[in-house]
């Protein structure tokens, strides 16, 4: 019985792991990492909720265009003292008293009072306030959807950058592992030659110091890889839930074919923050329309039916009519509201122009960085090949006794440094391309 329970527990745990976002040991591609971020990251979820909330405000605004129906029912136990010709304004907590009651000042005799009714109001026309409010909410919802797209764009860039940072960090670990292996061999060779009296003892200590430096660099590289994985896990919105996973080891690049002008046009057409400001300007224009409507009347229709009385045969009444409301003078409030809304719209237009200039800067800078990354790859490849030949010659010269340990260790350091720079150049190409995609608003995959 215990064996069955234990097997069931193991099966449930295995299913829980398998049902997680990432299966342990899975190969994680960049597309999969981006998909996880767009599904699990809290910033994405928060922005999506705000966009949905803004969409619901459109329905709230449209509700004013539909009939408003109210029902009421009431029971009171009260005295029935008349108030004669006394006049007063009704206020909260003061019920309507009869003009002629059964008593004049009797506080002990009370009666039942019943009331039930239904009323309806229908908006007809108001020269732009109600429909302008709908237009404002619609523009605000579009702005929130653009903000959601901006959040998704930043998430994609963050995932892409940390993804290639981790790939590069793992490649650099391999570079330093190779360096440790080579310098261990150099130390063994120096020890053999020193024991044979062919080289001084200083060669051994120089090789030992060089090996220790390589091991220290390997420790730092491993720590950098572990930190890069934490950064990628966080960028995907998984935090501490991500298990160990694999990544494709290859860093690739390709030639640049499009021009800078093509990317600028794409940015002006797709940047969500630019769309957001345009939607904000639309909302401000709708707000101007609302305030201007206060210069003119509002038309509505109302109807209702009610039953009131103190006995089994209450009085029945109904009514229907047209309501016209016109704020004739409100202390110049409408003038100031219209002027404020116009200035708000002007400020947004200036923000749009400011953002367009910053987009030009960002796209040009990212494009130039991307171009430079290609040049860095070419130079890094040349440096790596030259340092490899240099190391081969230095090893042969030391082996034959023609070279010194300093020459060998210098060549080894140059080769290791060139290897790390080659990896960084290749990763830099992908990261620069991701930055350009972010700055042109084209980094988010289609749903």
Higher local confidence (pLDDT), 274 or 82: 274
Q: What is the pLDDT of residues 230-263, one digit of tens each?
A: 999 999 999 878 888 898 878 888 888 889 999 9
Residue 8 has a pLDDT of 45
Please, what's the b/e burial string for 37-67 (b: 16 or more CB within 10 A of its CB; e: otherwise)? bbebbeebeebbeebeebbebbeebeeeeee
Sign of the C-alpha dihedral computed for residues 289, 291, 294 and 297 taken in this order: positive
What is the distance in angstroms between the CA of the first residue and the CA of the last residue of the chain? 49
User: What's 82's DSSP letter?
Assistant: -
Concatenated DSSP letters for 24-59?
Answer: TT-B--HHHHHHHHHHH-HHHHHHHHHHHHHHHHHH
pLDDT mean over 115-141: 93
Residue 96 has a pLDDT of 63
CA distance linking residue 300 with residue 320, whole number of Å:
11
Rounded to two decimals, what is the model's pTM?
0.84
User: What's 446's DSSP letter?
Assistant: P
Q: What is the pLDDT of residues 289-340, one digit of tens each?
A: 999 999 999 999 999 999 988 877 778 999 999 999 998 999 999 999 999 9
Residue 100 has a pLDDT of 66
Residue 13 has a pLDDT of 36
Compute the mean pLDDT over every residue in the chain, rounded to the nearest whole number. 88
Residue 306 has a pLDDT of 92
- Is the CB of residue 363 less than 8 Å from the CB of residue 261? no
The continuous run of DSSP H or E covering 375 comes out as helix 333-400
Torsion angle (degrees, nearest 10) of CA 14, 17, 20, 26: -110
Residue 5 has a pLDDT of 40
Please give the share of the chain, as a percent, with pLDDT higher than 90: 68
Q: What is the pLDDT of residues 343-372, one digit of tens each?
A: 999 999 999 999 999 999 999 999 999 999
Burial class of residue 355 (count of CB atoms within 10 Å of its CB; 0-12, 13-18, 19+):
middle
Q: What is the pLDDT of residues 412-436, one digit of tens each?
A: 999 999 999 999 999 999 999 999 9
Question: Which residue pairs, CB below 8 angstroms and at least 24 apart, start in 62-68?
Answer: 62/134, 64/123, 64/130, 64/133, 65/123, 65/130, 65/131, 65/134, 66/123, 67/120, 67/121, 67/122, 68/120, 68/121, 68/122
Task: Give me the residues paired with residue 118 across strands.
Answer: 71, 305
CA distance linking residue 440 with residue 147, whole number of Å:
15
CA distance linking residue 153 with residue 223, whole number of Å:
29
Least confident of 6-20, 173-187, 341-355: 6-20
**Domains assigned to the chain:** 27-66+127-296+330-440 (1.20.1600.10)
Secondary structure class of 136 (helix, strand, coil): helix
pLDDT band at residue 176 under the 50/70/90 scheme: very high
Q: What is the pLDDT of residues 66-120, one digit of tens each?
A: 999 999 998 888 887 777 666 666 666 666 666 666 666 666 788 888 889 999 9
The continuous run of DSSP H or E covering 123 comes out as strand 111-125
Residue 12 has a pLDDT of 40
Query: Which residues touch 287 (CB under 8 Å, ≥6 apart)?
Result: 132, 136, 341, 344
Among 379, 388, 375, CA closest to 416: 388
Higher local confidence (pLDDT), 11 or 32: 32
User: What's 264's DSSP letter?
Assistant: H
| Residue 394, CA distances (Å) to 39, 94, 254, 269, 412 in order | 53, 105, 34, 56, 9
| Residue 163, CA distances (Å) to 90, 126, 343, 438 in order | 70, 56, 45, 15
pLDDT above 70: residue 212 = yes
Please give the share of the chain, as a percent, with pLDDT higher than 70: 90
Residue 17 has a pLDDT of 37
Query: Which residues touch 235 (CB under 8 Å, ≥6 apart)?
Result: 33, 37, 41, 155, 158, 159, 161, 162, 163
Higher local confidence (pLDDT), 5 or 70: 70
């Amino acid at each position: 019985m215990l064996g069955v329970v234990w097997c069931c527990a193991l099966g449930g745990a295995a299913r829980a792991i398998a049902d997680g976002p990432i299966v342990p040991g899975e190969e994680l591609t960049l597309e999969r990492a981006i998909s996880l971020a767009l599904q699990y990251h809290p910033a994405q979820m928060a922005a999506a909720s705000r966009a949905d909330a803004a969409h619901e405000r459109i329905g709230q605004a449209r509700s004013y265009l539909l009939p408003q129906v109210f029902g009421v029912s009431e029971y009171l136990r009260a005295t029935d003292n008349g108030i004669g010709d006394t006049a007063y304004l009704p206020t909260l907590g003061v019920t309507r008293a009869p003009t002629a009651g059964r008593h004049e000042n009797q506080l002990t005799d009370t009666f039942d009072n019943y009331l039930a009714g239904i009323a309806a109001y229908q908006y007809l026309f108001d020269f732009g306030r109600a429909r302008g409010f709908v237009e404002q909410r619609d523009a605000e919802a579009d702005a929130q959807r653009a903000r959601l797209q901006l959040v998704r764009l930043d998430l994609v860039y963050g995932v892409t950058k940390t993804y290639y940072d981790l790939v590069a960090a793992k490649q650099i670990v391999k570079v330093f592992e190779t360096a440790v292996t080579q310098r261990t061999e150099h130390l063994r060779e120096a020890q053999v030659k020193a024991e044979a009296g062919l080289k001084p003892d200083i060669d051994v200590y120089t090789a030992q110091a060089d090996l220790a430096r390589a091991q220290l660099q390997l420790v730092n590289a491993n720590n950098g890889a572990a930190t890069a994985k934490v950064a990628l896990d966080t960028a995907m919105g998984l935090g501490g839930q991500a298990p160990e996973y694999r990544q494709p080891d290859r860093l690739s690049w390709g030639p640049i074919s499009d021009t800078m002008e093509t990317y600028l046009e794409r940015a002006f057409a797709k940047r969500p923050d630019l769309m957001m400001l345009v939607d904000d300007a639309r909302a401000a224009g709708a707000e101007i329309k609302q305030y201007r409507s206060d210069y003119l009347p509002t038309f509505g229709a109302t109807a209702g039916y009610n039953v009131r009385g103190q006995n089994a045969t209450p009085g029945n009444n109904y009514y229907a009519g047209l309501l016209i409301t016109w704020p004739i003078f409100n202390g110049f409030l409408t003038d100031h509201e219209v002027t404020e809304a116009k200035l708000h719209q002007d400020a947004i237009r200036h923000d749009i122009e400011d953002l367009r200039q910053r987009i030009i800067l960002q796209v040009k800078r990212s494009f130039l960085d991307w171009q430079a990354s290609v040049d860095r790859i070419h130079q890094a490849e040349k440096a790596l090949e030259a340092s490899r030949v240099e190391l081969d010659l230095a090893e042969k010269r030391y082996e034959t006794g023609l070279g010194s340990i300093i020459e060998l260790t210098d060549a080894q350091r140059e080769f290791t440094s060139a290897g790390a720079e080659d990896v960084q150049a290749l990763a830099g190409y992908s990261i620069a391309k991701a930055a350009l995609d972010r700055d042109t608003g084209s980094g988010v995959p289609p749903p």
